[in-house]
Amino acid sequence: MKRAPVQQHHRTALDGLFRYADLLHFGEVHVKFDPVTGLKAIIAIHNLKRGSAIGGCRLIHYPTTDGALEDALRLAYMMSFKAAISNLPHGGAKAVLIKPKEIKDRKAYFEVFGDFINELGGRYVTAMDSGTNAEDMDVIETRTPYVTCTSISKNSGDPSPQTALGVRRSIEAAVKFKTGRASLEGIHVAIQGAGHVGYFLAKELYQCGAQLTVCDVNEMALQRCIDEFGAESCSPDTIYDVSADVFSPCALGAVLNLQNIKRLKVSIVAGSANNQLAHHHHGALLLERDILYAPDFVANAGGLIYVAAVYDHAELTRAKAQVEGIYDTLMDIFIQAKRDNCPTNDIAEKIAAERLS
């Protein structure tokens, strides 16, 4: 029999993930498998000290289960930081659904997931994310009250416009700090990803008079930005080589790695993608290259601020003002980072960690 080495491999991989969870000071990880619908779900709850944990529900393909679990842990960790830096009365969590080759009954699939959420008794509140939509949240709401971003309420639905607003304010803060300019008129922004947030960010920037270069693997999404905003286009492989003022990653995470940072021809990085830095220390590499980085969990907090306000039945005009206030939060971080001559992500993470302690 040759099973022992395989079993040992699985134990080693799991041990590594437990060490990673310990490193991130994790609270809870829950797993659900339903063979009838094909649901394979992971809910990672990082921190509950500030209140129930809110985080999106991501439905994408993963090559391995270990990769899905690691993604859930990283994303939930950053959601805690995002909630803390925004002074929200919530902790951070994330749900990762390992997308099967085919979902035969999407309604039944999300009903089972809704039951899974309900079993956690309110510790986790779900929301839209990559691969899920408001209609999926509607189905979940038939099984549990711990959900936001539904299409039923006029004040709910897609939080992408609020995320985009926060990123636009982040770019404005970075441009002001870096150049002294109070306007985005003529500022060239290279947007990586024309999905939900990328599209609304392009719209925000276009209305401010910015010049846009956009890339996306989805030709229809890319063409929409070209047609509506007069954006230039480039291939996903060459977006890092575009000579611009701002690089705005709005697609996948871990794009700011050693190789890509060396290719950047910008003075500012500010976007909506989660976990943009492939490694924490890459923030120092951006500083060495004199590239001002708007830490992702600060810049993209607008969506979380909005969904938390909807879930808590808070005043939405106040929530929008808080999204606008991302500008001031980042200016304070930029000032402190310059004074201490340290990476901006170090400052932002220190502030968030202190609020979680």
> 75 and 10 in contact (C-beta within 8 Å)?
no
Pair 269, 345: CB distance under 8 Å: no
Q: How far is CA 339 from CA 139, 173, 333, 334, 344, in A?
A: 50, 17, 10, 9, 11
Q: Tell me the C-alpha distance between 348 and 333, whole Å.
A: 6
Gap between the Cα atoms of 17 and 29, Å rounded = 11
DSSP labels for 173-197?
HHHHHHH-----TT-EEEEE--SHH
Residue 253 to residue 276: CA distance in whole angstroms = 5
Given 2, 94, 176, 338, which residue is catalytic? Answer: 94
| Catalytic site includes residue 94 | yes
CA-to-CA distance for 296 and 272, rounded, in angstroms?
Answer: 6
Q: Do 97 and 58 touch, CB atoms closer than 8 A?
A: yes
Closest by CA position to 303, among listed 287, 282, 319: 319
C-alpha 116/C-alpha 43 separation (Å) is 9
**Contact 150/310 with Cβ under 8 angstroms?**
no
Give the three-class secondary structure for 44: strand
Rg of the chain (C-alpha set):
20
State the Cα–Cα distance between residues 167 and 148, nearest whole angstrom: 21
List active site positions: 94
